[in-house]
């Protein structure tokens, strides 16, 4: 599982000309899944995201988490996070999880964030989305967790 985390002052996602999700302050997450991702990995990533200390404290030091600042999350499904452009000029997306399994994991991830009493807005899995991100800082962190017990 990969998540590109961006600290955001404002973010929105528009689908077919209509705003589907919007936040004023918090994190914009671009979320991708691969083979063997599971609920255990999702639990780890939820904890990592909500406790990541990338918000400024009173001294201007990144020392506060999303929970500390009562921020929101805009979560966007992003299979292209698993794009591999190491060969040629056209990325391969073979490592990106597709279909029902990816949709299910994405929904589980967002629901687990909501269970932590966080306002979570989303795009629509697989839709053509226009994402507007006002990146604050800019602060951008790539989180990744692989299943070390593949096939178990």
| 3-state helix/strand/coil string of 80-136 | HHHCECCCCCCCECCCECCHHHHHHHHHHHHHHHHCCCCCEEECCCCCCCEEEEEEE
CA 4, CA 150: separation in Å to the nearest integer?
23
Select which of 33, 55, 79, 109 is catalytic: 79
Angle at 129 between CA 85 and CA 48, to 5 degrees: 70
CA distance 98 to 151: 18
DSSP of 56-76? E-TTS-EEE-HHHHT-EEEEE
Assess whether 134 carries a catalytic annotation. Answer: no
Residue 110 sits at the vertex; the CA angle it makes with 107 and 112, to the nearest 5 degrees, is: 105
Residue 78 bears catalytic tag:
yes
Tokens representing residue 121 in the block? 């807005």
28 is a catalytic site residue: no
From 6, 34, 78, 122, active-site residue: 78
Catalytic residues: 78-80
């Amino acid at each position: 599982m990969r998540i590109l985390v961006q600290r955001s002052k404002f973010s929105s996602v528009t689908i077919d000309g209509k705003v589907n999700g919007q936040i004023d302050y918090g994190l914009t997450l671009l979320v991708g899944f691969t083979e063997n991702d599971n609920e255990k990995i999702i639990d780890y990533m939820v904890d990592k995201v909500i406790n990541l200390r990338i918000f400024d404290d009173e001294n201007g030091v990144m020392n506060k988490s999303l929970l500390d600042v009562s921020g929101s999350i805009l979560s966007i499904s992003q299979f292209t996070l698993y794009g591999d452009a190491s060969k040629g000029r056209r990325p391969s997306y073979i490592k990106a999880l597709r279909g029902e399994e990816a949709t299910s994991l994405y929904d589980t991830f967002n629901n687990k964030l909501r269970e932590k009493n966080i306002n979570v807005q989303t795009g629509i899995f697989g839709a053509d989305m226009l994402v507007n991100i006002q990146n604050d800082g800019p602060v951008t962190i790539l989180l990744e967790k692989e299943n070390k017990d593949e096939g178990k």
